[in-house]
């Protein structure tokens, strides 16, 4: 797609057609748009904090309750499956935020073509566009792994619980045969 075609999809007016306030309005809209991208990142971090807290609390609750024998094995399995569902929701939300931010910064790069400098575009190119991990490892790459780490922990809890069920059945069977 040519730059001219991209420009037309973002800009509704040429500077000459718009009037004397074109540059002021362009800068103001650019600032507002950058602020909205920052707010998305802030919301994303708050959501990560929430899901991290919920998952940490669930695993701690499972651990404390199982040590104190205050929770049944089926309940451990149910709570673990609930944790897995929460983790999947977290993963999908992170993907959604990633896609929103990707779209926003594509728009920012297009707007910057009309500005004296293209700070975000140049910065992104200097960082290898996220393709060279030595230059820059995008936060999303790490962020997407965290829900799956919790899924693995929940699966371990489930497997341990199932082993306890098998052990209890074996003990009951042994006692019945004695």
On whether residue 2 sits in a domain, the answer given is no
On whether residue 1 sits in a domain, the answer given is no
Q: How many residues does the chain have?
A: 178
On whether residue 131 sits in a domain, the answer given is yes
On whether residue 43 sits in a domain, the answer given is yes
Helices (H) and strands (E) in the chain, counts: 7, 0
On whether residue 171 sits in a domain, the answer given is yes
Q: Read off the pLDDT of residues 21-59 as tens digits, 9 standing for 90 and up.
A: 888 898 999 999 999 999 999 999 999 999 999 999 999
Cα–Cα distance measured from residue 134 to residue 132, given in angstroms and rounded to the nearest whole number: 5
Q: Read off the pLDDT of residues 63-104 as tens digits, 9 standing for 90 and up.
A: 888 777 777 888 889 999 999 999 999 999 999 999 999 999
Q: Read off the pLDDT of residues 125-138 as tens digits, 9 standing for 90 and up.
A: 998 888 888 888 88
Which pTM was predicted?
A: 0.79
R_g of the chain, CA atoms, integer Å: 26
Are 176 and 91 within 8 A, CB to CB? Answer: no
Residue range of the domain that includes 135: 7-177
Q: How many folded domains does the chain comprise? A: 1
CB-based contacts of 128: which residues, under 8 Å, 6+ apart? Answer: 135, 136
Residue 171 pLDDT > 80: no
Are 104 and 96 within 8 A, CB to CB? Answer: no
């Amino acid at each position: 797609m040519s730059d001219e075609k991209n420009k037309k999809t973002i800009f509704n007016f040429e500077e000459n057609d718009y009037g004397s306030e074109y540059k002021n309005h362009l800068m103001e809209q650019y600032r507002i748009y950058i602020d909205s991208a920052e707010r998305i990142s802030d919301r994303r971090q708050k959501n990560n904090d929430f899901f991290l807290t919920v998952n940490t609390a669930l695993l701690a609750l499972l651990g404390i309750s199982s040590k104190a024998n205050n929770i049944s094995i089926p309940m451990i399995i149910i709570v673990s499956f609930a944790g897995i569902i929460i983790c999947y929701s977290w993963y999908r939300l992170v993907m959604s935020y990633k896609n929103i931010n990707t779209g926003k910064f594509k728009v920012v790069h297009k707007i910057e073509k009309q500005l004296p400098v293209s700070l975000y575009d140049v910065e992104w190119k200097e960082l290898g566009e996220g393709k060279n991990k030595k230059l820059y490892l995008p936060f999303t790459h790490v962020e997407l792994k965290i829900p799956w780490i919790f899924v693995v922990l929940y699966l371990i809890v489930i497997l341990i619980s199932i082993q306890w069920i098998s052990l209890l059945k074996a003990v009951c069977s042994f006692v019945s045969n004695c």
